Amino acid sequence: MTSRHTVNEHHMTLTERMKVLSEGTKYDSCNQSAVCHAFGPDGRCIQLYKTLLTNSCSGECSYCPNRCGRDSVKASLTPEEITKITWSFYRKNAIEGLFLSSGVIGDAENTAEKQLEVARLLRNQGFTGYIHMRVMPGTPLYLLEEIADYANKFGVNAETTSSVNYSEICPNFDYKSDVLQRLKWTRDLINKKRKEVGYGGRIVGANDTQFVVGALSEPDREIVQTVDKFMDKYELRRPYFMSFDPVPSTPLENNPSSPQWREIRLYQTSYLLKDYGLKAFDFDMVYDDNGFLMDSDPKILLAQSHPERFPVNINSASLNELLLVPGIGPVGANRIVRSRPISSEKELMRMGVVISRARPFIEINGKRQTNLASFMEAS
Amino acid sequence: MIIAFKKNVEGVLLACHELRESPGSDLIYADTLDELKSKISFSGFEDDVWTLGFKPVTNCSDLATRILGKRKSRMFQRDPGVEKYIDLVLRHSSCSPVELVHFICSCAGNADQLYSGKSPTGKRFYNYMRDVTRAYHRLCMFARPDFVNGILTVEVNSPHRIGDMFCRWLAGKNPDLPVSVIENDIAWIGNGRYIGLENFTNVRSSFIQSLSFSREDDELDQLWDVYYDSQMIENRRNKRHAKQLQPKSSASVSEMSRRDRYKVERGIANCTLDEFNA
């Protein structure tokens, strides 16, 4: 097997190696809320040149195609090659910057040093674009501090919700010290950097992390609670979710893949935590008996499980009450509050409210949609 | 009385201020003084004309505060401030500056009406602002400049007047290079100090087009295709969503976006003729 790797890598062109290593990052999400430059046929935006330094990895993560000992094509790019490709795409306005991850090269410290070399090289050449680095669990603090000087965003992936789960899928690392401690350090470094550069300086991205959904049997309730806890404790701004897909020749190859909708529902729930001020316990009514989300919009389920809260009067409800109405988002709620009195559904539509969703839950000037319950009450 | 104002932010705000003082006045606008003179002479009313905005003397922020109040009026974090809002609306191909002045006056000091979309006119101007912003963002996303004698150059063709905005963005992204954005017969130049011009200026587009054009990017285009294809996850293909994000109009912005758009529409071929031969 070793000979195959060696032969492959030595006989591969730059383009071939680039292809292998970019494919290794296609499951990583890297939204930085700036300019996207293309959208893949799956609808995900492409705004950074995403690559691994190498896909040779000494880790044995049970879900990962790059895990140690798995027979696959191995490749790597030198810092100079990554820099050259990044510059070419950047000048062509095809990207906004670089997303750099890697397989573990020996240990986390050595890997971070190699990643840092790329960032340092780019910045020394005058690169002002965006650099996002995913560091390995266990990266030492002194290297994170240096990475913070060069990268706009950096962080470590939590992958799962607890130490027990983590030891099952990533046996080489310790959840508490290698992941949670790093999340705490990145939070502190981000706050420090933001104070240093202030507004108008370079972008310093918020703390983020990624979860693999469905590799283990942890229920959604546990994931949502973890996200909520991370938001409070580590100032996590946005969690990313990656649906598990079994990879051949890995210990989890016979596990079923996670349905796509589960990832979508988790994202919707995370937005409700992030932008609507809800907490994990608010969703207790939304899960099924096993603690999993159902394939339905969690905001609608939440509204349906609290009929006593509705209908809300559009002209007198508070901002928080409006935010709980399906079809009304933070922007729409703000517009409503600042444009009262509202006299018709047409006005609401012009303000961006999805009236077909909101109609059963609102009342305008004493008028509301009739439902069976109100009909029964009247009779 | 006739209020004659320049078609820019300052002109619109001054006209609003003046219209509030003299509500029955007629409004005319122009881009330049020459255009204004010809419009006035054509109308035949050369007396009692107030000319506003052609000499930049006013602090626009103060003026905007006087007309629309101090309150922070944005309702969405990406909504621009009042001055930027007016600037963007004026760039729209369908915008009537006279109507805009009347609309701002009708807000009666409440800037919320610019953003809420509650009235049909408010919604229309808000949509104009969003249209221009969207067109600008699309250029930032899909335009792919080439090097022409060391100048990073791109030709744009938008219905709205956004060439200068895009040029500033491109110059900011590449602070170490001169950049040029050709929009019809004008070429906007950013970082012009590197080629002996003002830092931000415009020249006739023939000046840039006369430079010999050398395109050396075929290899880069191929590399991009390899990268683009590598990011595809086949079982997540979502044609409808991808088409919304990368609309058909984006394909005309550059050759690279055209190929990307084609793949959104048709998917990425996972086999080639060579493989059949093998």
A260 touches chain B (CB under 8 A): yes
What is the CB-side half-sphere exposure of residue A187 using CA atoms within 13 A? 16
Report the alpha-carbon distance of residue A107 to residue A169 in Å, rounded. Answer: 18
Nearest CA-CA distance, residue B131 and chain A, Å: 15
Same domain? For B200 and B115 the reply is no
Same domain? For B126 and B169 the reply is no
Given B185, B209, B233, which residue is the final one in a domain?
B209
Given A155, A189, A221, which residue is the final one in a domain?
A155
- Percent of the residues in chain B that have a pLDDT greater than 90, as a whole number: 38
Nearest CA-CA distance, residue A309 and chain B, Å: 25
DSSP strands (E only) in A207-321: 207-213, 236-243, 312-313
Residue entry with tokens 């101007």: B125
pLDDT digits (tens, 9 = 90+) for A346-373: 999 988 899 999 999 999 988 887 776 6
Residues of chain A under the 50 pLDDT cut: 1-7
Same domain? For B84 and B16 the reply is yes
- Domain range spanning residue A342? 309-370
Report the alpha-carbon distance of residue A122 to residue B271 in Å, rounded. Answer: 36
CA distances from A372 to A358, A360, A376, A377, A378 (A): 17, 11, 6, 9, 10
B108 touches chain A (CB under 8 A): no
Sheet with A130-134, side-by-side order of all strands = A48-52, A97-101, A130-134, A153-155
Same domain? For B198 and B255 the reply is no
Q: Which chain A residue's Cα is nearest to B118?
A: A347
**Contact, B195 vs B171, CB < 8 A?**
no
Question: Is the confidence at residue B22, as pLDDT, over 60?
Answer: yes
B142 touches chain A (CB under 8 A): yes
- What residues in B contact A331, CB-CB < 8 Å? 75-76
Using the beta-carbon criterion (under 8 Å), do B233 and A42 form an inter-chain contact? yes
Using the beta-carbon criterion (under 8 Å), do A347 and B118 form an inter-chain contact? yes
Confidence of residue B164 (pLDDT cuts 50, 70, 90): very high
Note the pLDDT of residue B144. Answer: 92
Report the alpha-carbon distance of residue A116 to residue B142 in Å, rounded. Answer: 30
Note the pLDDT of residue B168. Answer: 96
Report the alpha-carbon distance of residue A40 to residue B135 in Å, rounded. Answer: 20
B263 touches chain A (CB under 8 A): yes
Question: Is the confidence at residue B2, as pLDDT, over 60?
Answer: yes
Q: What would you report as the CA-atom Rg of chain B, rounded to the nearest whole angstrom?
A: 23
Report the alpha-carbon distance of residue B124 to residue A232 in Å, rounded. Answer: 41
Using the beta-carbon criterion (under 8 Å), do B241 and A43 form an inter-chain contact? yes
Instruction: Name the pTM for this structure.
Output: 0.87
Given A98, A123, A155, which residue is the final one in a domain?
A155
What SS3 class is residue A32? coil
Mean pLDDT for chain B? 86
Given B188, B209, B230, which residue is the final one in a domain?
B209
Note the pLDDT of residue A7. Answer: 46
A338 touches chain B (CB under 8 A): yes
Q: Which of A144, A205, A150 is nearest to A178 (CA)?
A: A144
Nearest CA-CA distance, residue A11 and chain B, Å: 18
- What residues in B contact A123, CB-CB < 8 Å? none
Note the pLDDT of residue A367. Answer: 82
CA distances from A78 to A14, A75, A106, A197, B241 (A): 10, 10, 16, 30, 36
Question: Is the confidence at residue B194, as pLDDT, over 70?
Answer: yes
A345 touches chain B (CB under 8 A): no
Given B94, B113, B136, which residue is the final one in a domain?
B136
Using the beta-carbon criterion (under 8 Å), do B141 and A36 form an inter-chain contact? yes
Nearest CA-CA distance, residue B136 and chain A, Å: 11
* Domain membership flag for residue A361: yes
Q: What are phi and psi of A310, to 5 degrees?
A: -125, 160
- What residues in B contact A351, CB-CB < 8 Å? 116-118
* Domain membership flag for residue A286: no
Q: Indicate which of A13, A30, A339, A345 best probes the interface with B, i.e. most B CBs within 10 Å of its own CB.
A: A339
CA distances from A21 to A17, A27, A73, A158, B23 (A): 6, 12, 10, 22, 67
Confidence of residue B15 (pLDDT cuts 50, 70, 90): very high
Using the beta-carbon criterion (under 8 Å), do A331 and B257 form an inter-chain contact? no
The enclosing H or E element of A45 equals strand A45-46
* Domain membership flag for residue A216: no
Size of interface A-B (CB pairs under 8 A): 137
| Whole-complex ipTM | 0.84
B237 touches chain A (CB under 8 A): yes
Confidence of residue B117 (pLDDT cuts 50, 70, 90): confident
Q: What would you report as the CA-atom Rg of chain A, rounded to the nearest whole angstrom?
A: 24
Q: List all residues 6 or more positions away from B174 whose beta carbon is below 8 Å from its beta carbon.
A: A91, B152, B191
Residue numbers of B between 186 and 225 with CB closer than 8 Å to A: 217, 220, 222-224
Note the pLDDT of residue B275. Answer: 67
- What residues in A contact B227, CB-CB < 8 Å? 18-19, 22, 49, 89
Report the alpha-carbon distance of residue A134 to residue A31 in Å, rounded. Answer: 13
Nearest CA-CA distance, residue A333 and chain B, Å: 9
Q: Indicate which of A124, A338, A342, A364 best probes the interface with B, i.e. most B CBs within 10 Å of its own CB.
A: A338
Q: Indicate which of B71, B79, B118 best probes the interface with A, i.e. most A CBs within 10 Å of its own CB.
A: B118
pLDDT digits (tens, 9 = 90+) for A303-362: 999 999 999 999 999 999 999 999 999 989 988 998 889 989 999 998 889 999 999 999
Using the beta-carbon criterion (under 8 Å), do B232 and A26 form an inter-chain contact? yes
Same domain? For B114 and B230 the reply is no
Same domain? For B14 and B115 the reply is yes
Mean pLDDT for the stretch of residues B156-162: 92
- What residues in A contact B226, CB-CB < 8 Å? 15, 18-19, 22
- What residues in B contact A15, CB-CB < 8 Å? 222-223, 226
User: Which two three-digit tokens encode residue B91?
Assistant: 């760039």
* Domain membership flag for residue A375: no
SS3 of chain B: the string is CEEEEECCHHHHHHHHHHHHHCCCCEEEEECCHHHHHHHHHHHCCCCCEEEECCCCCCCHHHHHHHHHCCCCCCCCCCCCCHHHHHHHHHCCCCCCHHHHHHHHHHCCCCCHHHHHCCCHHHHHHHHHHHHHHHHHHHHHHHCCCEEECCEEEEEECCCCCCHHHHHHHHHHHCCCCCEEEEECCEEEEECHHHHCCCCEEEEEHHHHHCCCCCCCCHHHHHHHHHHHHHCCCHHHCCHHHHHHHCCHHHHHCCHHHHHHHHHHHHCCCCCCHHHHHC
Q: What is the DSSP letter of A281?
A: G
B26-30, B35-39, B45-49, B126-130: which has the minimum mean pLDDT? B45-49
pLDDT digits (tens, 9 = 90+) for A116-129: 999 999 999 999 99
A274 touches chain B (CB under 8 A): no
B120 touches chain A (CB under 8 A): yes
Number of domains in chain A: 2
Amino acid identity for residue A330 in this structure: P
Q: Which of B118, B224, B242 sits opposite A350 (nearest CB)?
A: B118
Cα B131 off chain centre by? 9
Same domain? For B18 and B124 the reply is yes
* Domain membership flag for residue A331: yes
Question: Is the confidence at residue B212, as pLDDT, over 80?
Answer: no
Nearest CA-CA distance, residue A16 and chain B, Å: 9
* Domain membership flag for residue A67: yes
Q: How far apart are the first and last CA of chain A?
A: 78
Q: Which of B191, B79, B237, B26 is nearest to A43 (CA)?
A: B237
Q: Indicate which of B79, B116, B179, B229 best probes the interface with A, i.e. most A CBs within 10 Å of its own CB.
A: B116
Nearest CA-CA distance, residue A378 and chain B, Å: 34
Report the alpha-carbon distance of residue A313 to residue A327 in Å, rounded. Answer: 15
Amino acid identity for residue B241 in this structure: H
Given A155, A171, A197, which residue is the final one in a domain?
A155
Please state the length of chain B: 278
Q: Indicate which of B153, B230, B234 best probes the interface with A, i.e. most A CBs within 10 Å of its own CB.
A: B230
Mean pLDDT for the stretch of residues B122-138: 93
Using the beta-carbon criterion (under 8 Å), do A351 and B118 form an inter-chain contact? yes
Residue entry with tokens 């122009």: B30
* Domain membership flag for residue A63: yes
- Domain range spanning residue B237? 218-277
Q: Look up the CATH number of the domain holding residue A352.
A: 1.10.150.320
What is the CB-side half-sphere exposure of residue A306 using CA atoms within 13 A? 18
* Domain membership flag for residue A192: no
Q: Which of A236, A240, A99 is nearest to A180 (CA)?
A: A236
In degrees, rounded to 5, the angle at the alpha carbon of residue A255 between the alpha carbons of residues A265 and B234 is 60
Number of domains in chain B: 3
Mean pLDDT for the stretch of residues B158-181: 94
Residue entry with tokens 């991370």: A230
B71 touches chain A (CB under 8 A): no
Same domain? For B203 and B129 the reply is no
Q: What is the DSSP letter of A188?
A: H
